[in-house]
Structure 1
Amino acid sequence: MFFYNALKHTIQLHPSFFGPNIVQHLELQLKQEVEGTCNGETGYIVKVMKVIDIGDGLIIPGGEGRAEFNMEYHAIVLKPFKGEVVDVIVTNVNKMGFFASYAPVEVFVSVHLLPVDYKFQPDSNPAEFVSPNGTTLVKGKKCRIRIVGTRVEANEIFAIGTMKEDYLGPFD
């Protein structure tokens, strides 16, 4: 799920950037440092939308003249939740299930969380799951799943999904 959050980050700036364009340099460095990163607490920072406050710069002792700025900003953040229904793209299929992704989140759907009628076809190339009505789960296929659990690490979020409910499964 996407959120619009207020966040804080500390930027260290080299003295060569002190001058009339210091604000632009700070905003650019903030975007370069935080966009695309993951924090287990807040989720994936997708986009910095607005800088709210640039604190007073404090010179770092022994830091070759560098200054530290505490910045507050608003950002769009992605964080998956248990029970959320998401559209994913299958990235890998094996006999244990399949891996899929939406944005930077990696999701695994176990063979035990697929509808009973889906069978793994070991002889097919590429590997796939096939249902009796001809629907396939193969790399690159779009699929709708429900997240049943998440695991948060320091800089990555993994999820477990299911297709064993109504209105879930592959689509075009």
Structure 2
Amino acid sequence: MGFFLVDLKRTVTVAPRHLHAKIHDHAIHRLVTLVEGTTSGQYGYIISVVEVRRPLPPAVIQPGTGAALFALRYRALVFRPFVGEVLDGVVSTVTRHGVFVAVGPLRVFVSAKNVPGDMEYDESEQCYVSAVQGSEDRLEVNTPVRLRLVGMRRDATELAAVGTMHTDYLGSLG
């Protein structure tokens, strides 16, 4: 899986009303609030701040506002998927063009031609069902699936992926 610990930096602004004995605690809380759950195109999804380097650097007072600026160094747990990686997820949306699968914070599109070869879209039930006699396999909302990433797009604030379930051992896990 694409989970990594990375060392990062971020400047945090603390308003003048928080300039008291617990300013360092407030600066760390502000850092956690600002970065957890966000996306960095370079590093991936920032899941959690694991550690903030101590001692904290001295604050720089911003002229005109009186706010304190802290240049904090921290270690974070990030999720960064790679092309070719096999991941487990849950189907979140089904259309005739394919399915969207939620893999944690990542949303992966699997086109209709990349779902398992024996499955066809059923317009009446709005899901993919197996065309094999006696098989109960279905791809519908909330179905757990396994897929392989075949493409990724990274930009500053978002990761997008395309996947396939059209090979052995991939597809519905339910």
Structure-2-length-normalised TM-score: 0.93
Equivalent positions of 1:111-126 (< 5 A) are 111-124=112-125
Give me the CA root mean square deviation. Answer: 1.1
Give distance in 1, aligned partners of 2:80 and 2:100: 18
Deviations 1:32-72, CA, capped at 9 Å, x for gaps: 0000011111111100011014222111122x201111000
Q: Give the secondary-structure state (helix, strand or coil) at the position aligned to 2:17.
A: helix
Q: Give the secondary-structure state (helix, strand or coil) at the position aligned to 1:61.
A: coil
Percent identical pairs in the alignment equals 37
Partner of 2:30: 29
Q: Give 1:91's aligned amino acid.
A: S
Give distance in 2, aligned partners of 1:21 and 1:116: 60
Partner of 2:81: 80
Matched, 1:98 2:65: no
Equivalent positions of 1:1-172 (< 5 A) are 1-53=2-54, 54-62=56-64, 64-124=65-125, 127-131=126-130, 132=132, 133-172=135-174
Deviations 1:84-138, CA, capped at 9 Å, x for gaps: 11111001111111001111111000011122211000111xx110112220000
Q: Give the secondary-structure state (helix, strand or coil) at the position aligned to 1:81.
A: coil
Shift >3 Å, 4+ stretches: none
- Which runs of no fewer than 5 residues in structure 1 stay unpaired? none
- Which runs of no fewer than 5 residues in structure 2 stay unpaired? none
Q: Give the secondary-structure state (helix, strand or coil) at the position aligned to 1:134.
A: coil
Q: Give the secondary-structure state (helix, strand or coil) at the position aligned to 1:80.
A: coil
Structure-1-length-normalised TM-score: 0.94
Give distance in 2, aligned partners of 1:55 and 1:43: 26
Equivalenced residues, count? 169
**Per-residue deviation, 1:154:** 2.3
